[in-house]
Structure 1
């Protein structure tokens, strides 16, 4: 079959669920929001949880189900708070949009079209504290005509006055089974061949982030064609191969400085990110049968110190 949508479209968008009920593995959230959509009386909402679990998809689906394609552009403002996160954005763009009044609610084209607008703030935990405090006043002033949807990974970075004004929805990490099911569906739609090893690798390197997994899959399909191997997925993702991590671990265990230094130089020559290497070493150390619990604790404590140094660079 010829594709209905140009192949240049990102698969993350192409296969994004269009309705709240289609969001995977968030049964409790879907149930509550489905009931909310029936009344069309949405409160301010705060969606939080790991990346790639459906937070943004759910917010967009709610907005589309409330207003439909005709009113969506005039009633919904989408902002990525990691880019537009300063206090000036709150005082201008957000406040100006929130202040505009809308007509009384009446169904159009089968959509509820309630008498309010929606502002979607993605990555809201990247907003400065001053911006969040300024936003608090805007929420209070225009609550009758505007609803805010905050999307974040870390709810602890949202100031309490904002969080307390929202209905909170926690999105659970996606299981390997859920991710595999969705990936296989996309493979079937796009005519891709992905064996069990490659599927397992994709689930592992994406770390529960379905958006990342779909992006890796599309990139691999463009580079290598319809048959994709585990090695090709690792190459596209830029993740450090497991054998490189294990080689460094073995070299360190020998106590031979020259041998270990050679492996370190190999890591540098390959350009592997040191943060990924430390994370990989941590996993190998924890699962090792040759080290005592005390040794593991001491090594991990030292790795933690090095990780802190890397994060401050």
Structure 2
């Protein structure tokens, strides 16, 4: 379901004031929380806070929060003549199985006077009984055009100059996450009156895509020393973490113009290196092992150019 279709369906709930239990699923920074608050403000007007509570399930993920805070708020009658109250549970996929089971019973018992809006990154972590009681909306990552439009609007309102390559860099960093895009713009505007590509990559601690591509090409063409020098620049000069470098290598490898068999072999090794670093292995040794594998396994020089 596309974002415009989601907006249309949610507006119909506001128009009819007939709100079911809702489950919003999707990546971070795509508007799940904003959609929930917008619905509540449209329905209840200025007094929306009287009939609304927001809880972050990742902070309070045990069964006690459902038995106390959620249940106590749900059992109270709506204020101001409202038909129901709304409980918004952000990051609901962090709730334990016991807490989700208790939540299911609470949703059943107080459905006449209380509606639940659950937000999560992975709907598969929400138990089936809860999913079956909710209208499920799956949000997708925002398009580069949507992010560019909003960034240009904010920059205009704030009097910030953003270059074309700055917009491209923000889109590269954000990857469909509006929150990350706005944070990058704000941070870059604090250190420079002109937000360009270099400022964005500097403030977000990300390498330029062409630098990562250059590292990969040197490695797979057998230039281990050159690839190692590029790695030194990323880790020691720019101060990137090993995890960030692995993520960017994976991202650029997917777009590299190489035979599929070579790409599959390299991505398989990237996944192994990423797992080792996550488990606590030395980042420097693992990244050098990755570029050594690329140099040993290699590709033909024609595909590396």
Query: Which TM-score tier does this pair reach, normalised by the shorter chain?
Result: 0.7 to 0.9
Please report the TM-score for the alignment, with normalisation by the length of structure 2: 0.84
Q: Distance in 1 between matches of 2:140 and 2:235?
A: 36
* TM superposition shift of 1:255: 3.1
Match of 1:276 in 2: 244
Aligned to 2:91: 123
Say whether residues 1:201 and 2:177 are aligned partners.
no
Query: What SS is found at the alignment partner of 2:77?
Result: coil
Counterpart contact for 1:82–1:126, Cα < 8 Å: yes
The answer to whether the aligner puts 1:94 opposite 2:70 as a matched pair is yes
Contact 1:251 1:263 in 2 (8 A): no
* Separation (CA, whole Å) in 2 of partners of 1:63 and 1:312: 42
How much has 1:216 moved relative to structure 2? 1.0
Residue 222 of structure 2 is matched in structure 1 by 255
**Residues 75 and 116, structure 1, Cα contact 8 Å, conserved in 2:** yes
Q: What is the match of residue 18 of structure 1?
A: none
Query: In the alignment, which residue of structure 1 is the partner of 2:124?
Result: 156
State the Cα distance separating 1:264 from its structure 2 match: 3.8
Name the residue aligned to 1:41.
Answer: 18
Note closer, same or farther for the CA distance 1:176–1:257 as it changes in structure 2 (3 Å cut).
closer
Q: State yes or no: 1:185 paired with 2:153.
A: yes
Residues 1:139 and 2:115 aligned together: no
SS at match of 2:86: strand
Q: Distance in 2 between matches of 1:77 and 1:42?
A: 16
Q: Mean Cα displacement is larger for which, 243-252 or 38-47?
A: 243-252
For the Cα contact (< 8 Å) 2:205–2:239, is it kept in 1? no
Give how far 1:260 is off. Answer: 4.3
- Say if 2:42 is the partner of 1:75: no
Give yes or no for the alignment of 1:55 onto 2:32.
yes
Instruction: Specify whether residues 266 and 191 from structure 1 end up closer, same or farther in structure 2 by C-alpha distance, changes over 3 A only.
Output: closer
Q: Give the TM-score of the pair, scaled to structure 1.
A: 0.82
What does residue 178 of structure 2 align with? 210
Distance 1:77 1:189 in 2: 31
- The 2-side partners of 1:188 and 1:103 are apart by 40
CA shift for structure 1 position 168: 1.0
Q: C-alpha distance in 2, partners of 1:66/1:204?
A: 37
Q: Which residue does the alignment assign to 1:309?
A: 276
> Within 5 Å, which residues of 2 pair with 1:225-236?
225=193, 227-236=194-203
Q: Could you tell me how far apart the structure 2 residues matched to 1:35 and 1:286 are? A: 40
Alpha-carbon distance in structure 1 between the residues aligned to 2:279 and 2:17: 46
How far is the alpha carbon of 1:259 from its aligned partner?
4.5
1:261 shift after superposition: 4.1
Task: Structure 1: give runs of 5+ residues left out of the alignment.
Answer: 1-24, 106-113
Q: Does 1:26 align with 2:9?
A: no
Q: 3-state SS of the aligned residue for 1:77?
A: strand
Q: Which 4+ stretches in 1 moved above 6 angstroms? A: none
Change (3 A) 1:303 1:40: same
Question: C-alpha displacement at 1:59, in angstroms?
Answer: 0.2
Q: Deviations over 1:2-52 (max 9, x none)?
A: xxxxxxxxxxxxxxxxxxxxxxx7211111121111221211001111222
Provide the aligned length of Structure 1 versus Structure 2. Answer: 278
Q: Matched residues in 2 for 1:147 and 1:92: separation?
A: 17
